[in-house]
Amino acid sequence: MTAQRTSANDAAASFVRRHIGPSPRDVAAMLETVGARSLNALMAETLPPSIRQKAPLDFGAPLSETEALAHMAALAKQNQVFTSLIGQGYSGTILPAVIQRNILENPAWYTAYTPYQPEISQGRLEALFNFQTMICDLTGLDVANASLLDEATAAAEAMALAERVSAAKTRSFFVDSEVHPQTLAVLRTRAEPLGWKVIVGDPLTDLEGAEVLGALLQYPGTTGAVRDLRRRSRCCAPMARWRLWPLICWR
């Protein structure tokens, strides 16, 4: 029995057909299904005229890579940098050159681990391990998670974990009033369908004696407040130079 071979041109045409959009026949069938005369008519029925582009975009002449980089750099120089007062966790940060070069820009982290492994999984694993080690150093914990979640979602997951392991009969969870609003919103969204109650208050005055399964404290607070929350924990080391108690002191 002789196998039928496919020519290179046929294979290429088949690949293109599978990956590059619908054919004119497919478009006609879909338009007939939705009852539209053409794609333009469908767009006119779908998009309000007030938000549609009336004329083609004027992109100008195409640029080479070097020209495009120079153009973007010139545009970036027009930005004016001001002091951010938005608060809510959006604080200015300092990125030391040694961290930028040896961690964020280290080619050993974003090149293939082996010739047959195109992804950057090996470098990602090493980066997560470094992150876990740093969190253990800051908190004094024996283990630390390396979650890729945003802060608000991570807080909701922490609340869910506290509920699963808590022996308390209550389903109330205490949340610091200084928690970022976006974090509080996600906590409430997660708690509502599960029948949990989110209690918001000042941990220095409202947490003691409260029947809750867990608590979430914000340090520093969303308004920038730096409060001495060691009254809710035990301290084991002197104050840090930047006048903030390290989290390891709260144990």
pLDDT at 2 over 60: no
Q: Are 214 and 157 in contact (CB under 8 A)?
A: no
Average pLDDT score over the chain: 79
Q: How far apart are CA 144 and CA 140, in angstroms?
A: 10
Q: What is the pLDDT of residue 139?
A: 77
pTM reported for the whole predicted model: 0.56
**Average pLDDT of the segment spanning 188-206:** 90
Distances (CA, A) of 142 to 134, 148, 210: 12, 20, 28
Q: Are 191 and 197 in contact (CB under 8 A)?
A: yes
